[in-house]
């Protein structure tokens, strides 16, 4: 038995229209097996089959499937249950031309729509309340007091998520979907309420406009836009950064060089060992973009000392040819964002850099020309972090080496002061 899929050309809230369309498909030998983003049919339909949509969850004990009492009652009247349509209807059908209608009169049919109408009316209110609560929670987490800890709370990275959400491509796509759906929602509400009001008055429902090419295009768009949105969100969060990575030597934006921070002669792995490291993340830069941070980039540097030594250390656990090498690293992220977001973004990036298996001590210090300086260290460990902010400019560093970031605040602060 073959399966046939068709885009539904009528609104799911156009009850007479949807029933009529299913009956038309039955006259062509097709029987529906599901209705959702599209309709799925089997080639076993019989001409003359009637379909009726029965709103569910209007009787005691009725949930996502009809009660046994209802099934027996409808079966005795000649109607069989097909399947559930979303969270709105049960679909029943009959091939008996003498079978009575599911509802004895228009008013009882109108009463059956009470729950669906109430849900639709409250949907907008619930959505407004939900988004308002989420907005208040987001702002509270963003700007209320914060105490550093070995395990900062899970909401601390919300500012970075906010910047990512304001990616212009993603934002434009979301806005497009929102404004595209508004007239569809209004039409569906108008269609359902017109049917409901007529039935409650004991009148037949208004005639259906019938299948519409516009609704077909809307349903196709919904099928296409949904996966695109998911793909954009996933790529924005987990996308292959190698597509946008650039060697540090080709990067023109200002950054703090690891050569300036260290006191010993350094070189890239390829120069020191005269072979490729095989790593794509060494000494590279990557740009990001957000409407809330038009300038946003990250620079990663991993270098090796030109002069090897004999003594092992944290930075040289494995000898190369019997000799150990000092290998410091410096990762830096720079933001030019709104001044009100500077400190939350700095805290979020510090947490992003934080190695979770270490106990970090945080300290805020004063520095001339900076609005804030946050230092993070680990006792008896070479890993360090620092965040410096001035106005809307923020620079956050993660460093592993023998130098002390606290001794180089003049260099680290140059980036936000505009000196380099």
Tens digit of each residue's pLDDT, the chain (420 residues): 788 999 999 998 899 999 999 999 999 999 999 998 789 999 999 999 999 999 876 554 566 788 899 999 999 999 999 999 887 899 999 999 999 999 888 888 888 888 888 877 776 677 677 767 766 665 665 555 444 444 455 678 888 888 887 877 777 777 777 777 778 888 888 888 899 898 888 899 998 888 888 888 888 877 787 777 667 666 655 554 445 688 898 899 999 999 999 988 888 877 766 566 555 457 899 998 899 999 999 999 998 887 766 666 666 666 766 677 788 999 999 999 999 999 999 999 999 898 877 888 999 999 999 999 999 999 888 899 999 999 999 999 999 998 999 999 999 999 998 766
How many domains in the chain? Answer: 2
User: Within this chain, do residues 400 and 308 fall inside the same structural domain, yes or no?
Assistant: yes
Exposure string for 228-266, b = 16+ CB within 10 A, e = fewer: eeeebbeeeeeeeeeeebeebeebeeebbbbeebbeeeb
**CA neighbor of 337 nearest in space, from 164, 171, 163, 165:** 163
- Residues 211, 297, single domain; the answer is no
Structural domain for 107, as ranges: 1-239
Shared domain for 280 and 211, answered yes or no, is: no
Query: Based on the domain organization, do 56 and 106 belong to the same domain?
Result: yes
Within this chain, do residues 131 and 229 fall inside the same structural domain, yes or no? yes
Residues 124 and 203 in one domain: yes
For position 147, what pLDDT does the model report? 47
pLDDT at 238: 55
List all residues 6 or more positions away from 216 whose beta carbon is below 8 Å from its beta carbon. Answer: 7, 8, 9
Give the full edge-to-edge strand order of the sheet including 372-377. 245-247, 284-290, 293-302, 329-336, 393-400, 383-390, 372-377, 361-365
How far apart are alpha carbons 389 and 343 in whole angstroms? 7
pTM of the model: 0.62
Q: Which of 210, 239, 268 is the last residue of a domain?
A: 239
Asked if residue 179 and residue 151 are part of one domain, the reply reads yes
The closest of 256, 255, 282, 257 to 271, measured between CA atoms, is: 282
Are residues 251 and 214 located together in one domain of the fold? no
Burial-class residue 370 by CB neighbours within 10 Å (0-12, 13-18, 19+): buried
Alpha helices in 52-113, H assignment, sequence order: 68-76, 106-112
Residues 213 and 79 grouped into a single domain = yes
Last residue of a domain, one of 212, 239, 266: 239
Look at residues 185, 208, 239 and tell me which one is the last residue of a structural domain.
Answer: 239
């Amino acid at each position: 038995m073959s399966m046939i899929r068709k885009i539904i050309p009528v609104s799911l809230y156009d009850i007479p229209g949807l029933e009529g369309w299913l009956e038309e498909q039955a006259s062509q030998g097709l029987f529906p097996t599901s209705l959702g983003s599209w309709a799925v049919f089997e080639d076993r339909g019989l001409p003359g089959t009637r379909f009726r949509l029965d709103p569910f969850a209007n009787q005691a004990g009725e949930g996502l499937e009809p009660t046994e009492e209802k099934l027996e009652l409808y079966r005795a009247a000649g109607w069989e249950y097909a399947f559930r349509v979303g969270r709105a209807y049960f679909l029943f059908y009959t091939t008996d031309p003498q079978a009575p209608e599911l509802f004895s009169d228009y008013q009882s049919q109108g009463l059956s729509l009470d729950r669906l109408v109430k849900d639709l009316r409250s949907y907008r209110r619930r959505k407004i309340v939900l988004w308002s609560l989420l907005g208040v929670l987001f702002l509270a987490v963003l700007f209320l007091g914060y105490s550093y800890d070995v395990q900062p709370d899970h909401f601390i990275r919300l500012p970075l998520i906010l910047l990512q959400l304001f990616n212009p491509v993603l934002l434009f796509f979301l806005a497009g979907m929102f404004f595209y759906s508004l007239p569809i929602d209004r039409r569906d509400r108008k269609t359902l309420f017109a049917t409901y009001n007529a039935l409650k008055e004991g009148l037949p429902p208004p005639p259906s406009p019938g299948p519409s090419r516009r609704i077909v295009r809307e349903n196709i768009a919904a099928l296409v836009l949904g996966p695109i949105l998911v793909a954009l969100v996933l790529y924005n969060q987990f996308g292959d950064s190698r597509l946008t990575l650039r060697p540090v030597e080709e990067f023109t934006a200002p950054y703090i060089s690891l050569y300036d921070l260290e006191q010993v002669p350094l070189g890239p792995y390829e120069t020191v060992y005269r072979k490729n490291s095989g790593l794509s993340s060494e000494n590279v830069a990557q740009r990001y973009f957000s409407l809330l941070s038009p300038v946003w980039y990250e620079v990663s540097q991993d270098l090796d000392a030109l002069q090897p030594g004999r003594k092992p250390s944290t930075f040289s656990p494995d000898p190369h040819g019997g000799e150990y090498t000092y290998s410091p690293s410096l990762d830096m992220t720079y933001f030019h964002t709104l001044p009100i977001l500077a400190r939350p973004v700095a805290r979020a990036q510090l947490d992003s850099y934080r190695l979770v298996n270490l106990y970090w001590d945080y300290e805020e210090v004063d520095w001339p020309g900076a609005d804030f300086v946050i230092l993070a260290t680990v006792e008896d460990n070479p890993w360090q972090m620092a965040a410096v902010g001035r106005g809307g400019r923020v620079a956050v560093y993660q460093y592993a080496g023998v130098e002390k970031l606290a001794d180089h605040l003049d260099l680290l602060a140059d980036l936000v002061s505009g000196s380099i």
